[in-house]
Structure 1
Amino acid sequence: MADTSLRRKLTVSAALGLLLVPGCSAEQDLPYAEAIQLSPDTLEGLATRTVAVQVDHSAVSYRYPILGESHPLTTEVRTRMAERQTAFLEELPDHGRPELVQDVELLAASEDVIGVRTSAVTSGVREGGTETSTLWYDSASGEVLPWTSLFRDESALEAAHLAVARVLRDGYQLSAEQLPGLLGKIAQRAEADPDSVSAGASGSEREPDQDTGAEADGTGARDAEAREDADAEAPTPGDADLADPEQAWEAAERWAESPLADLAFSTAGGLAVRMDPADVPNAGRSGEVLLPVEPEEAEEVLSELGYHARGAAVGSNADPGDFPFDGTLTAEGNTLDCERLKCVALTFDDGPGEYTEELLDHLGEYDARATFYVLGSLVGEFPEVVERTHAEGHEMGNHTWKHDDLTTLSADGVAKDLERTDQAVQEVTGEAPPTLRPPYGAMNGTVSDATEHPIILWDVDTMDWQSRDTSAVAEHALSETKQGSVVLFHDIHQSSVDAIPDVLEGLHDQGFHFVTVSEIFGDGLRPGETHTDARVE
């Protein structure tokens, strides 16, 4: 039913997840946490975007939720996926057809906080596997934060690690020496020198004389040199303020090897910490290990944001109708941070024309966004083409009414020409063009003073209008394009449109992402100013 409560969805999902984990059952003896994770598709009013690009040598796909116009969490998730995709494509082997699949699940959602877990699954390469990360959006600050921000301080982080270590000791019968990675280092440090454990963590650790799987007389303890090595490798709690975004991210770097980086909240109200079964002796044939940190222990370590996140996760807003996804937050806006990525803006002048729809087909195969600098006089001749161009996420730019040299006009003439073109585009798409490209790139002070549009030129000119040579056009674009380039084409020439499949494939192979002019410049556009590229030197 459409009005099924979120609480019920969580319970059913958790139960199904428990049954689907190999080696786990409701009667199992091993500790197990029922993690709260939701597919974005389960929430009414929350839009998602799914993209797949398949070529002869590779396949990439991704899905992400659209949380509103240029929402910070959408931008961060999408940008991280793009970074991972670029790294994947730049490292492709010479044979086979590797695949990268990226996805997002919701860990919590309310008006106060949204949590997501991203996953990247690589196959067909030597070091394939799954990479995960979690992100939390705090609506009060408008910041995207790391997992460390869920904890009160670094002493609480240490306490949480010791709690997880105790679950492995008691539930999986592991000795201190068998505890994997950072858990083992912190637990062994605490066992060897209880005074080194911060006050906030001491209550979560067993007394030194209790059975830990080693001999009570200390014969299982490591020698002093080994302890010093462990101390050097394991983070020592400092005085970082995890409520401060910058310090929380710095702490996430220090604790990067922590299994808590992939935590969720459990249906019981505690934490669910995911571990690789290969790192947990006695885990059996389980597909994954989800270790519980009980609610009362979580109470001692969570920050204010952590409390909000837990409340959102376990269903303080149980009715999906109360969630901040009411169907209005579906506009994507800018979803890539091009300062961090290999972005390129493909631009097409002088249309729309008879070849524009064929060009749109080519762009669609790569989920490529482009910018079309249209002539106002042609918009009325090809309204369906303009409407489709806009509907498929491309940007419309102003290229004057009928390609007049703006430097030959008065200030009033320039303003009227551009306004007439803006109106023609807005009548079809509902939006006026945000930028201007003057014909021939010709401009002067009169032009810049007469317009509120940022003026966009280019740094890669394919000279397609002159050569009409498909191969030469593609080769020039591929050899000259750099991160942040604005590339000039004309979609009124068949030879230019025929070059685009090779351009798209070649730049995609190099790890480029195809964005609009507004996306590539971000907040750097200013009315009346001239911009040629957004290259990062």
Structure 2
Amino acid sequence: MKAGLIGTTTVVATLLLSSCTGPQPGSAEPSKPSHPNEIRTVTPTWISGLQVVSNHSESASCPWATAYPAIPGADALTATLRDKMPSRPDEQAADPETGCPSGETPEINISFRFLAAAGDVVGVELTTVDYSSAGDGTTIATYWFDTRSKKSLPATALLADNAGDDFVTAVVKALSGHEGVDPGNLKAALVPEFRASTLTDLAFTEGGDLVARFDQGAVAAVPAGRQQAVIPRVQAEPLLSDLGRRAQQQALRPGNRLDLDGAAPTTPRPPAPAPQPSTVDCQRVRCVALTFDDGPGPDTGKLLDTLARFGAHATFFVVGQNATYHGDLLRREAAEGHEIGNHSWSHPDLRKLTADQVRDQLDRTDQAIADATGRKPTLIRPPYGAINDTVRGAVERPMALWSLDTLDWKFRDSTKVTQTVLDTVKPGDIVLLHDNHPTSVAAVPAILSGLKDLGYQFVTVSQLFGSTQLTPGKTYGDNEKAFGRN
């Protein structure tokens, strides 16, 4: 059963804890943890047909974003992950202005990491942070798929059926002496009837050690924080099930081939050629910059076909987690003269993060874009346009907002979106659209045709500003300030 967004608990999910190192986006190689006790993760760009199923609000007063992988041939795991996603606010009785239930301000950002995706095992981690809780609010759960049985399995499936007592003993030993950990309470939390709900997060280090992570308050006093028990490989091996041993082997020697239907390796492509500088002088002619957020997605290719038909250039502010698995689309965007900007890794409200976490969101997305195109982006667009002093201090590039919001995220009506643009556009406008909404992509032909009839030239955001030097940390998006005219 899906969890609803309305309730006493506001859930916010983040991709990484500050103590974890994630995968290198876009690389076909496994990540290399910088600490021996960190979890092995991979970025399986070799899986043909892998899709990131994402959903976002675009309202700063009701920020939420969810994402999970849809893995061809692993339907049971995909279904499990889908069922962990909360219901969308607009599926409930919602305020039409914010998209949030009346009186509620849910802040959702659910992301994932792959723990393994080769041979005959897949592991996915979901990380959730609930800022309304008494503790740090972080919840991590890992889900596993056995390609032999075609079953989606919980973390406890990594353990042998008869390993329960020995596993508990190993965990007690690993956590012995940790501040706030009482051995009696720890054992009580791991008795068989509670084990499934307490032991939701098992994974391996690159050295094959078994790591059990526990949410704050699950096995220790809340002030003690999250607990992590590391069981050395030699002690862990007798505790593992057949699935657990195969998952451990993928941590030790990760492969780049997943034995699933349609999971053939992909062939890397060379970087896209650098786009040619624009010869359009937007001080003399009518220019408009169409921008598309939150992709790449299923309809991005169709959008690129439309832009090519009109000879129009645009700017794509991409989400890094999506970009990692759609490198072909990014290469095509760059090759066809479009600009690619950074829209964060997992679409969180950056105001809720520390400066280091903001930089992590941007750096990982930079890497995903560079892996696909050979170049890092020069522009940032913070999700929701949400900025505070921490964000300004952490961002070392110009931040491009918008001057014309089509509200296409709220009104899934192609005709209304088209009319909004044609009725309100001014020279120098930066128009906000989203290529993850089919109705928005469907509106683009009429938008381009109508604007062309009005004499507009279609340029990227950087082309819009021409030779004007954009200042790092400063926001741009008000056309009157940019061009001094309506």
TM-score range, shorter chain: 0.3 to 0.5
Bigger radius of gyration, 1 or 2? Answer: 1
The TM-score, its normalising length taken from structure 2, stands at: 0.42
Larger helix percent: 1
TM-score (norm 1): 0.38
